Amino acid sequence: MQAQSDGKPYDDINITPMLDLAYVLLVIFILMCTASIQGMKVNLPKASKGANLGKPKTQAISINGEGKIFLNTIPVSLEELQQRLVQQKTQTPEFSVVVAGDSGTQYQKIMDVLDIVGRLGISQVGLATKTQGK
């Protein structure tokens, strides 16, 4: 665009800066809307215990460095662990178990827990590990 010296108005208008501004505002609007939706707190309705449509609860078995066994943060003995897993299996036959053993734990304790899990026929078993930091 060149300025005309005879006083006539411009023939064309450069709308590129206006489009850039519109795109920036659109991106800001999208980001702000999604951020506010993710942070919403919703009071969910309650269902009866029989209407459990979700995935069965995963049981977490932890063994600390002293060899103590915990089922979902509750200290248990090997016999109690077996009893509670049997109860859980009668309620929900297909549930999963995650075993997390401390690196200083005697290997025999972890094998005792895995033996109980195997005897009960629990097929969905995971071993928790941690990636090495560099």
- Give per-residue pLDDT as tens, 34-84: 765 444 455 556 766 655 555 557 888 888 888 888 888 888 888 898 898
Instruction: Specify the pLDDT at position 25.
Output: 94
CATH-assigned architecture of domain 55-127: 2-Layer Sandwich (3.30)
Segment holding 59, helix H or strand E: strand 59-63
pTM over 0.75: no
- 99 near 125, Cβ under 8 Å? yes
| CA atoms of 1 and 4, how far apart (whole Å) | 9
Mean pLDDT over residues 82-99, rounded? 85
Cα 114 to Cα 62, 76, 119, distances in angstroms? 12, 15, 9
Domain residue extents for the chain:
55-127
Question: Which one is predicted more confidently, 18 or 104?
Answer: 18
